[in-house]
Chain A
Amino acid sequence: MYTRRAGILVAALLFAVSILSMFGRDKLYSENENRYLEAQPKLSAAAVFDGKYMENTEAYLSDHFFARDAMVNIRTQLDIFFGKKEVNNIYIGKNHFLFEKPSEYSADKVGKTLDTINKITKSQSAASSYFALAPNACEILSDLMPSNAPTQNQPEQIKKVYGKLGNMKCVDILSALQKAENKERLYYRTDHHWTYEAANIAFKQIAAQMNLNTKSVEYKSYCVTNSFKGTLASSASLFSAEDSIYITVPKTDVKYVVTYVDENKKTASVFDSSNLKKKDKYEVFFGGNFSQIEIETSAKSDKTLLLFKDSYANCLAPMLIPYFKKIIIIDPRYYTGNLTQTIQKENPTDMLWLYNVNTFLNDTSIVNSLG
Chain B
Amino acid sequence: MTDKKYIWIEIGLVVILIVYIIFINGFYSGGTDKSIAEVSKPVTATLKGSTLSKKTNGDAVKAFGFELDKTDGIMYYAADNVMDVSEVLIVKLKDKTDAPDFEEKIRERVTNQENLYKGYAPKQYSLLQNSIVASSGNTVFYCTSKTANAIYEAYKNAL
Interface residues of A, Cβ cutoff 8 Å to B? 29, 34-36, 38, 41-42, 44, 46-47, 49-50, 52, 56, 191-192, 230-231, 234-235, 262, 280, 282-283, 288-291, 311, 333-334, 336, 362-364, 368
A289 adjacent to B130 (CB under 8 Å): no
**In the complex, which residues of chain B have a beta carbon less than 8 angstroms from the beta carbon of A235?**
118-119
- Closest CB-CB distance, A257 to chain B, in whole Å? 22
B82 adjacent to A192 (CB under 8 Å): no
Check if B77 is an interface residue, CB within 8 A of chain A: no
A368 adjacent to B129 (CB under 8 Å): no
Known: A42-B149, A280-B120, A364-B112. 6 other contacts (CB 8 A): A34-B122, A49-B27, A52-B152, A231-B120, A283-B120, A311-B120
* Closest partner residue, chain A, to B111 (CB atom): A362
Q: Given that A230-B119, A283-B120 are contacting pairs, would A262 and B62 also be in contact in the complex, using a CB cutoff of 8 Å?
A: no
B129 adjacent to A35 (CB under 8 Å): yes
A46 adjacent to B156 (CB under 8 Å): yes
Check if B54 is an interface residue, CB within 8 A of chain A: no
- Closest CB-CB distance, B69 to chain A, in whole Å? 19
Q: Given that A46-B157, A334-B82 are contacting pairs, would A41 and B149 also be in contact in the complex, using a CB cutoff of 8 Å?
A: yes
A336 adjacent to B112 (CB under 8 Å): no
| Interface residue tally on B, bucketed by range | 20 to 34
8 contacts between A and B (CB under 8 A): A36-B123, A36-B127, A52-B152, A192-B119, A283-B120, A334-B82, A336-B82, A362-B115
Classify the secondary structure of A's interface with B. loop
CB within 8 A of B149: which of A56, A231, A288, A363? A56
**In the complex, which residues of chain A have a beta carbon less than 8 angstroms from the beta carbon of B127?**
36
Q: Given that A262-B82, A280-B120, A333-B116 are contacting pairs, would A35 and B152 also be in contact in the complex, using a CB cutoff of 8 Å?
A: no
A35 adjacent to B122 (CB under 8 Å): yes
CA–CA, A241 and B9, complex, Å? 72
CA–CA, A47 and B154, complex, Å? 11
CA–CA, A296 and B96, complex, Å? 53
Contact with A along B127-141 (1 / 0, CB 8 A): 101100000000000
CA–CA, A234 and B117, complex, Å? 13
Task: In the A-B complex, list the 4 residue pairs whose CB atoms are closest, starting with the nearest.
Answer: A231-B119, A35-B126, A34-B122, A36-B126
B122 adjacent to A362 (CB under 8 Å): no
- Closest CB-CB distance, B156 to chain A, in whole Å? 5
A291 adjacent to B126 (CB under 8 Å): no
* Closest partner residue, chain B, to A369 (CB atom): B62
* Closest partner residue, chain B, to A37 (CB atom): B126
CB within 8 A of A234: which of B82, B122, B153? B122
A52 adjacent to B119 (CB under 8 Å): no
